[in-house]
Amino acid sequence: MRLRRTKLYLPGNNPNMLLRGHLFEPDGVILDLEDAVAVSEKDSARILVRDVLKRGDFGDCEVTVRINAMDTDLWRADIETVVPCGIDGIRIPKVENPKDIRLMDEALSGIESKAGIPVGKTLIFCLLETALGIWRSYDIATASKRIAAICPGGEDLRADLKTTRSENSEELIGPRRIVVLAAHAAGVDALDTVYADITNDEGLRRETEWVKQLGFQGKSVIHPNQIPIIHEIFTPTAKEIEQARRIIEAAAEAAAKGLGAVQVDGRMVDKPVVKRAEFTLQRAGLKSGGER
């Protein structure tokens, strides 16, 4: 399982952030060619992002590029430029239609085979930033084997829902639950949107704990200071890891003896408990498996 607790956005026309963003040790970086780049600078940002990708110094980060939306005339040039650099994935904004994902899948395959990259290597992360995109989230998440995650939008989604931001983001409760359900039904990650108030650490902590409880695997990040807070919340504690190990050992022993269930710390250990324990170890980076 690839950890995707944090994905740090790096503005595509900002050399300082593009070259140094990975040093803050997020699980992934998103080189952004979309909203962070003025329309007049798209060409220049594309060249800069290409050269930063070619340099390839991103530590252990999963490297993705947010391309321009598929209803613009920019997305083809974006993928033709960045995919041959061997990135881990692309992030598509404002996805509404599974047909667009199939079109993207084909386009990526063509570029990969021309560039000598294994076909299917480039993953797709879908941003669902409209009511229609959220409504179709399961169909989108299953439209290609390349889909690694689906992510609800923030401000764009609020605008499409004809609402505004509230203190606890109550307006996004429904969309977030739908995305989590669709993602897990499809076997992909559910990754949450950014927390925009970069000075409010308590608010970030509260929201992150809540989305973790809902079933998200991580959040996008717009400021490096947000990374340690989110990592702390999404990383199992030593006590949780120890307990998960004991549960898995006890379950293995029981299976070897032909027993169906067993007790650990006075609690019955059955299949769902073992599954949760395995997930805890995957999150701690101590066990392979899980979603793409």
Q: How far apart are the first and last CA of the chain?
A: 7
Q: Among 64, 68, 81, 280, which residue sits at the site for another protein (rule: CB under 8 A)?
A: 81
In the bound state with another protein, the residue whose beta carbon lies nearer, of 57 and 265, is: 57
Which tokens hold the place of 252? 């293995």
Does 173 bind another protein (CB under 8 A)? Our answer is: no
| Half-sphere CA count of 214, side-chain side, radius 13 A | 26
Which of these ranges, 10-18, 106-114, 187-195, 204-212, lies near another protein under the rule CB under 8 A? 10-18
In the bound complex, what is the minimum distance in angstroms from residue 67's beta carbon to another protein? 13
With 0-12 / 13-18 / 19 or more C-beta atoms within 10 angstroms meaning exposed / middle / buried, residue 239 is exposed
Does 15 bind another protein (CB under 8 A)? Our answer is: yes
In the bound complex, what is the minimum distance in angstroms from residue 76's beta carbon to another protein? 10
| Bridge partners of residue 149, in order along the sequence | 125, 189
Q: What distance in Å separates the CA atoms of residue 107 and residue 238, rounded to the nearest whole number?
A: 45
In the bound complex, what is the minimum distance in angstroms from residue 246's beta carbon to another protein? 50
In the bound complex, what is the minimum distance in angstroms from residue 17's beta carbon to another protein? 9
Number of residues that bind another protein (CB under 8 A): 17
Q: What is the dihedral of CA 263, 266, 267, 268, to 10 degrees?
A: 30
Q: What distance in Å separates the CA atoms of residue 177 and residue 211, rounded to the nearest whole number?
A: 9
Q: Among 8, 9, 10, 14, which residue sits at the site for another protein (rule: CB under 8 A)?
A: 14
Which phi and psi angles does 128 have, rounded to 5°? -105, 100
In the bound state with another protein, the residue whose beta carbon lies nearer, of 37 and 128, is: 37
Question: Any residues with CB less than 8 A from the CB of 204 and at least 6 apart, and which?
Answer: 195, 197, 226, 229, 230
Find the binding residues for another protein in span 97-156 (CB under 8 A). Answer: none
Which tokens hold the place of 173? 């409760």
What would the DSSP string read from start to end of 213-272?
HHT--EEEESSGGGHHHHHHHHSPPHHHHHHHHHHHHHHHHHHHTT-S-EEETTEEE-HH
Contact 60, 94 (CB under 8 A): no
In the bound complex, what is the minimum distance in angstroms from residue 4's beta carbon to another protein? 27
In the bound state with another protein, the residue whose beta carbon lies nearer, of 32 and 278, is: 32
Does 261 bind another protein (CB under 8 A)? Our answer is: no
- Pattern 41-80, another protein, x by CB under 8 A: --xx-xxx-xxx--x---------------------x--x
Which of these ranges, 9-17, 196-204, 219-227, 246-254, lies near another protein under the rule CB under 8 A? 9-17
List residues near another protein by CB under 8 A. 13-16, 19, 43-44, 46-48, 50-52, 55, 77, 80-81
